[in-house]
């Protein structure tokens, strides 16, 4: 919703809204990788992965994206499995 609102009412802020959505996708993907051993939330992880792939190039080139997200973007280019393994280690035990 935030992206749609910014696109309609504040187009100059649309890149910031996309960067925020990418950050949220990384967080959710990582939490699912670390805390969903039975695959119950696999469809949510699939949607997060789709968003990461859709926004990663634009965000990688942005000077305003946090270093943590840039690291996630670079890892995403190595594949979903690599990003999932690193995310699992990072988020392991943080939320159960």
Domain boundaries, the chain: 15-91
User: Residue 10 has what pLDDT?
Assistant: 95
Q: Are 69 and 22 in contact (CB under 8 A)?
A: yes
Which positions ≥6 away from 33 have C-beta within 8 Å? 45, 83, 84, 85, 87, 88, 91
Distance, C-alpha 76 to centroid of its chain: 9
Give the Cα separation of 62 and 85 in Å (integer).
26
pLDDT computed for residue 22 by the predictor: 92
The pLDDT-based confidence of 93 (bands split at 50, 70, 90) is: low
What Cα–Cα distance (Å) separates residue 64 from each residue in 48, 74, 88?
A: 21, 16, 26
pLDDT range class, residue 95, cuts 50, 70, 90: low
Q: What is the pLDDT of residue 46?
A: 97
| pLDDT band of 56, cuts 50, 70, 90 | very high
pTM of the model: 0.84
């Amino acid at each position: 919703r935030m992206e749609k609102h910014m696109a309609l009412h504040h187009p100059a802020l649309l890149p910031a809204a996309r960067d925020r959505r990418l950050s949220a996708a990384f967080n959710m993907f990582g939490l699912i990788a670390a805390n969903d051993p039975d695959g119950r939330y696999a469809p949510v992880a699939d949607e997060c992965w789709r968003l990461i792939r859709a926004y990663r190039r634009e965000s990688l080139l942005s000077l305003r994206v946090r270093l943590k997200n840039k690291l996630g973007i670079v890892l995403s280019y190595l594949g979903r499995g690599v990003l999932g393994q690193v995310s699992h280690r990072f988020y392991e035990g943080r939320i159960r």
